[in-house]
Structures are given as C-alpha cells and as structure tokens.
A = this chain, B = another copy of it.
Amino acid sequence: MTESDLPVVEFHPYRWGDPAHPAQLPPAAREALAALGVPAPPPPPVEPARVSLPEPALSREDLEPITAILGPDNVTDDHDARLAHTRGWSTTDLLRIRAGDATDAPDAIALPADHDEVVAVLAACAAADIAVVPYSGGTSVVGGLSPARAGFRGVIALDLRRLDGLESIDRISRTAELQSGMRGPRAEKLLGGNGYTLGHFPQSYEGASIGGYAAARSAGQSSAGYGRFDDMVVGLRLATPRGTIELGTAPRSAAGPDLRQLVLGSEGTLGVITSVTVRIRPIPETRVFEGWRFDDFAAGAAALRQLAQDAPAPTVVRLSDEVETQINLSDPDKMLGGGPGGCLAVIGYEGTGDDVERRRAAATQVLLAAGGRPEGTGPGEAWRTGRYRAPYLRDPLLDAGVLIETLETATFWSRLLDVRSAVTSALTESLGTDGRPVLVLCHISHVYETGASLYFTVACAQTDDPVGQWRGAKRAANAAIRGHGASISHHHGVGRDHRDTYAAEIGPLAAETLRAVKNTLDPKGILNPGVLIPDEDAR
C-alpha cells in the first residue's frame, strides 16, 4: 500500500480518520486500562442527529449576498453540514461534541468554486459583518476552527472542497500548482499519475488539505527527506477581503522580505490561500524503513543529532522514548505488547536505488558509532504501514473513559532533554494531583541541523470534567515549554488554544506588527477572529 492508495475520507464528527475502519482496543490495552485506574466508561456520545445546534444567527436574507455569488446550491445551513463543520479534532473538541455541545457551529456553510468567488464572498462578508472560518480538511487540533463570534452578525464556514484541481505541472522546474481544497490522498493520486510525489505525509494525511498544510505550516513524517510543507511552497495565491496577493516569482529571492513566509502559518487570519505552487519529486524507486534500538532516549537523541548534522539526510527519522517504545503506540495492533526495552528509532530512506544505498550506508555508519543496534526492516515496516492508524485508537479510549491527547514543541538540540523533562513533569503533576496514574509518551519525529521536535502523548483516567482536566494540563505544559524557551508548536499551529502563549513567544511589538498586517488585509477582522493574532491586551 502506498499513500496514493488511501481514500479521501469524510471524517465522522466524533471519530478520527476513515469511518469505514474504526479501531478497536487490542486485548493488552484493555487490561492496561485497569492500571490507569479507569472507572466505568462514561456515558456514550450524544447521537449526531440529536445534538441540538444553536439557532442559525444568519437568515436567508443575511446570506443573500453570498448566495448571489455562489448560487443557492452552494450555501447551506443544513444540520448535518453545520455539525460537520463544528470545531476540529483536538480531544477537547471531541469531548465537547460527544457531550452534545455544538455551540461553536457555524451558521451556514459556503462552497466557492474558484479564487474569484472566494474574493467576492470575502468582500461580501466584510460588507455584511459576517465572520468567516476558512475550512478545508477540518483537522485542526488547536482550536483553529472555532472563531470568536462577538461583534459579528454571524459566522460562515468557507469550505474549499470544490477547489480541488491540479492546475498545472512544470516538469522542468519540478513544480505543480495545486488548489487548496485538495486533500492529501487526491494530491498524491493526481501527481502520482504524472510520475511525481509531494512527499508530505502528516498524521492527518487522510483528511487534511493542501490549504491547511500551508496555512498551518504542516510537517509530514518524511520531513527529513522531503522537508516541511513550508519548504515545499514556492508560490501561492491569497484571497483577502481587499483583493488578491500572488507571491513567488522565483524559488528564492533577495527582493525584500519573503512574504510567502508571512502567509504560511497565518491560519486563515490574513486571507484564504486558494492555491499553492509546490516543489514535486519523482516517485521514489526504492524504500527501506529500518528499526534501530538505543539504550535510552538521551543516547538515541544524540544519534539523531549526529544524523541531522553529519550525514546525508534519511527520509524519515524518529525516535520513541522508553515509555512510548514500551507501549508501542506506533504499531497499534500490538499496542501495549511491550518490547525488549530501550528506545526504538525508525529510520527510513526513499529515492533511487543508488541514492538510498548511499544514504543508508552513511547513516548506518553514524548510527552504529552512536551505539545503535539495528533491528532490521520489521519495526520500520510495521511503523510505516500502521502509521495513520494510531490516532484511531483515541476514539475507543475516549469511549472507555481514558483522557488521551497529544501536544508538541520544537527546540534547539542543547535544550531538548531539559524541555522533555520539564513538559513531562508538568503534565504528570497537573494530571496526577489526586494520585491518578499518568502515562506520558514522547518521541522525536522531525530533525534539523540545529534542533528537533518533541511530540508528547498523554493518557490517564478521565475525571467528571475531562475538558477542564485537559485544559489544566495544557496550561502547565505550555508554561513549561515557554519557560524553557521552546516554541509553542512545531507543526500543530496556534489556533485559539495557543494564542496567549504565542503572544508571549513573539513579544508585544511583533504581535502589534501582525495586527497591523491583519488590519491592512482584513480591516473588518472577519477572517477567523480569535485565532492566532494576539489581542491588544495580550502581555
């Protein structure tokens, strides 16, 4: 199976991934729930059809300027559509919708067909004081789809699914222009038909879209070899309430600031990215994914650092800490099946046969010298084929009464072990105050010459208020991240959940600069209000 064989799925409002293939907890996991002190399962989720949505704040008349642009078939306030566009995919988002809380539902959904329609709808919404949530994959895990309503007549979700075309391929320059509503699997299928791949495979690959990758600075699991999504973008088209910005006359330039990098990561607050021109690569001939074992996380991290600094880059580089290695979350079918101890790394190579052999030989030398023990392709292939399944386990775990969520950060190598300790301690202390057992798993999944990402998975028994329980833990983790000078996000983004910590990270003058940019492009502030851009009174 390759990435282009995966279907584009419509996510179920309560469940991660392809609804046709829900996950079941493996027997070992069920036994382990007792160790977490999980009491009886909580009440089952409210049925989608029975969730009561707020009365739409926008009447048919209010929507008339939008309907005039898109046609009546492309504007809806249907119950199911509104529910499907309510919030994103964080655990707190799921917990709230499972409890029947759909207070953040948009009043209507608008489906533009092209760039010009997006520009026209934004202008119409600005004129009518209607807030707009740019929506494509809907996979935000940081509250990026829950705008602040205050001051607006209502909120629409601007769903870009009709913008899903491959506009052009430039085989000489190896670039392709993709519309932003296209999902990952469709992009791989269309590019694959021409002999190319994007090589961007984030955990949310089955649902996320090209526009979301760009707007939230996504990083895929093959980032060591293919780069982050913001590395791939050479051009983009942005629709704003005041018109269009097109960027990218050359791969790189000294003509002023790189404004592409101002739009990338703007999370729909400065405009709607309607297409991106991305660097593409030939479909790899060969693929080798291997497991390596290290005595402990520090030894494994040092080895990964040497790989990133002194060897030709593998395509995939990741290292699970002792707890994650033990729990084996990367191979859900064997989850909690245990292992021979230490820390497991997965190192993968893709490319031509020669190139893979060359890079693999060099990396193997580095990994052996750093104390790594090769475990062959078994663990690597198990990770590769199972990798999109891990988040599916969240659903049955929530059903069973487990609070489970992830968070992530990035820092320089010299701070990495300290940041990991601090975040682990903060989570354990916050969630374990009442003696509750807390599991904190950590891995490195993206490496750079000067630093790396840290990705945490946290599990414990739910309290009666699991949303409040997690928010407390998140506050503690954020404080630890900030206190150690790390970034509030490596690839999840800011959204509403990280906005205050983000404000502290960039400081008040940079925050004011961002507000000035927003005021220029979106003077009425209709675009994703409450997301990313720090408030004036943020410290």
Contact = CB atoms under 8 A, between A and B. Distances in A.
Interface of A: 170, 172-175, 216-219, 228, 230, 234, 240, 242-247, 249-259, 261-267, 279, 305, 309-310, 312, 352, 354-355, 358, 362, 409-415, 446, 448-452, 485-494, 498, 502, 505-507, 509-510, 512-514, 516-517, 519-521, 532
Contact of A514 (B240, B256, B448, B451): B256
Given A279-B449, A412-B170, A263 B254 contact: no
Contacts of A258: 230, 258, 261-262, 264-265
Contacts of A358: 312, 358, 362
Contact of A256 (B255, B259, B491, B532): B532
16 contacts: A218-B254, A245-B509, A245-B513, A249-B486, A250-B410, A250-B411, A251-B449, A254-B487, A254-B493, A255-B488, A257-B264, A258-B258, A258-B265, A259-B506, A509-B521, A516-B516
B510 A249 contact: no
Given A250-B451, A255-B494, A257-B266, A244 B509 contact: yes
Q: A242, A245, A362 — which one has the most chain B CB atoms within 10 A of its CB?
A: A245
A451 B513 contact: no
B412 A251 contact: yes
Nearest to A485: B249
A416 to B, nearest CB: 9
A240 B234 CA distance: 30
A206 to B, nearest CB: 20
B267 A256 contact: yes
A96 B141 CA distance: 59
A254 B246 contact: no
A415 B250 CA distance: 10
A516 B517 contact: yes
Given A242-B509, A255-B502, 4 more contacts: A174-B413, A249-B505, A255-B488, A516-B519
A266 B256 contact: yes
A490 B253 contact: yes
Q: A245, A252, A414, A491 — which one has the most chain B CB atoms within 10 A of its CB?
A: A252
Copies in the complex: 2
A173 B411 CA distance: 10
A115 to B, nearest CB: 14
A501 B502 CA distance: 35
A516 B510 contact: no
A262 B265 contact: no
Q: A216, A488, A532 — which one has the most chain B CB atoms within 10 A of its CB?
A: A488
A450 B276 CA distance: 14
A498 B263 CA distance: 23
Given A261-B258, A358-B358, A412-B175, A521 B517 contact: no
B256 A506 contact: yes
A409 to B, nearest CB: 8
A519 B513 CA distance: 9
A505 B309 CA distance: 36
Q: A257, A449, A509 — which one has the most chain B CB atoms within 10 A of its CB?
A: A257
A450 B279 contact: yes
B513 A252 contact: no
A413 B252 CA distance: 12
A516 B509 contact: no
B509 A254 contact: no
Contacts of A219: 252, 254
Contacts of A510: 245, 247, 259
A410 B251 contact: yes
Given A250-B490, A251-B448, A451-B250, A173 B509 contact: no
Nearest to A515: B520
A250 B513 contact: no
A515 to B, nearest CB: 8
Contacts of A415: 173
Contacts of A265: 254-258
A500 to B, nearest CB: 12
A488 to B, nearest CB: 5
Q: A362, A491, A516 — which one has the most chain B CB atoms within 10 A of its CB?
A: A516
B172 A413 contact: yes
Contacts of A490: 250, 252-254
Given A255-B487, A358-B358, A516 B505 contact: no
Nearest to A501: B255
Nearest to A451: B251
A506 B507 CA distance: 28
Contact of A305 (B172, B449, B521): B172
A447 to B, nearest CB: 9
A448 B252 contact: yes
Given A262-B262, A450-B279, A254 B516 contact: no
Given A256-B494, A257-B261, A258-B261, A250 B486 contact: yes
A516 B520 contact: yes
Top 4 A-B pairs, shortest CB-CB distance: A261-B261, A250-B410, A217-B254, A250-B487
